Amino acid sequence: MGETLGWWGVPLAILGGAIRVGTPLLWVSLGETVTEKSGRINLGLEGTLLMGAMTAFAVSLHSGNPWWGIVAAAAVGVLFGLLHGALCSLSRVNDTAMGIALMLAGSGLAFWLGKPLIQPSAPDLPMIALGAWSDSPAVRAALSINPLFVIGVVLAFAVHWVLGRTRVGLRLRVVGDSENAARAFGLSPSAYRIAATAFGGACAGVGGASLSLVYPGAWSEALSSGQGVMAVALVIFARWDPRRCILAGLLFGGASAISPALQAMGYTQGYYLFAALPYVLTLALLIGLGKPGPSDGAPGELSLNR
């Protein structure tokens, strides 16, 4: 795409890439925000992401309809979320350790079940052509928006509204801030946490679907490289605000898109260093933010920095 637009192709490709690469980050961090709002942390979303990607790819191939793939990925995500949520509700079971265990178990299972999936691609999701006004194929390519991003943005605002304005959202926040207060209100912390983790799992599953169906748009074992974990860090950056997850997804998606965009321009020096940019940025952000406190929206029961 570099030929027609010259160096202007870079910011354009980064914008397009920010949306493509940011979509899974948006979905995973959105789900994790809800999980963490209930006072749990699920570090296992990397495994859920890979399971979702594999499932979406397989189901889309067999049914011929990518939307069924997305539904199936969400369902698998719910199962993994329920598993994490239920097991962590047992006494003496540590949510961080369980997350690490499920990360390894989920990725192993996805690799096993995904072995026969050697097809190059599954049926495509229909794209939303925001660039139809332009004659330039580069502009069109960059502004062809995948529907999962749009749904994710809508969902982010919906989740924000549910958490802030509805009874169930208030209860979830009470459970996440103080287990004792929740018990005093007669709420069952475990039930809310299991439900919130299941929701987080569903979102991570859809995030995986966007990896295998939209970008890169195929199934491979190298599909996810830490997006599931980065998303957990992005929740801190988003200060547990679902709307800021959109910004976080775009920012870090953009950082991840720099390296392929430069490579497409023929600039290949330092490819791997640019590829490390999102991790460096995420780490820098954790360092800059320091320990998030209640004024940052951090749920009181969260073991993240306790």
Partner 1 sequence: MNTLAAPALAVPAAPLAARLRVLAASLLPAGAALGVTVLLFSAAVALAGFDPFEVWGLIVRGGFGDAFAWQNTLQRAAPLILTGLAVALPAQAGRVIIGAEGALVLGGLAAAALGLQLVAAGPWVVWPVMALAGAAAGGLWIGFVGWLRERREVNETIASLLMSFIAIALFNQMVETVLRDPASLNKPSTQPLPDALLLPAMPGLDVHWGLGVGIVVALIAWAVVKLTPLGLSLRVAGGNPRAALGVGLPVAWLTIGACAAGGACAGLAGAVEVAAVHGAANASLIAGYGYSGILIAFAARFSPLGVVPVAILVGGIAASGSLLQRRLGLPDAAVLVLLGIAFVALIACETLRHRSFGGRRG
Under rule CB under 8 A, residue 291 binds partner 1: yes
**Smallest distance from the beta carbon of 287 to partner 1, in angstroms?**
5
Query: Considering beta carbons, is residue 62 or 115 the nearer one to partner 1?
Result: 115
**Smallest distance from the beta carbon of 237 to partner 1, in angstroms?**
12
238 alpha-carbon distance from chain centroid = 13
Number of residues that bind partner 1 (CB under 8 A): 48
CA-atom Rg of the chain in angstroms: 19
Q: Token pair of 112, please?
A: 């096993």
Strand ranges in 208-293 using DSSP code E only, listed in sequence order: none
Q: Token pair of 151, please?
A: 């749904």
* Binder of partner 1 out of 3, 90, 167, 186 (CB under 8 A): 90
Distances (CA, A) of 18 to 31, 143, 258, 264, 295: 19, 11, 9, 15, 29
* Binder of partner 1 out of 213, 232, 251, 257 (CB under 8 A): 232
Looking at 5-13, 26-34, 61-69, 274-282, which segment touches partner 1 (CB under 8 A)? 274-282
Query: Considering beta carbons, is residue 106 or 242 the nearer one to partner 1?
Result: 106
* Binder of partner 1 out of 65, 96, 144, 220 (CB under 8 A): 96
Report how far residue 253's alpha carbon sits from residue 21's, in angstroms, rounded to the nearest whole number: 5
Q: Token pair of 235, please?
A: 């929740």
For 32-48, give one letter per residue: b (16+ CB within 10 A) or e: bbbbbbbbbbbbbbbbb
Contact 35, 41 (CB under 8 A): yes
Under rule CB under 8 A, residue 58 binds partner 1: no
Binding site for partner 1 (CB under 8 A): 43, 47, 83, 87, 90-94, 96-98, 100-102, 104-109, 111-112, 115, 225-226, 229-230, 232-233, 270-273, 275-276, 279-280, 282-283, 286-287, 290-291, 303-306
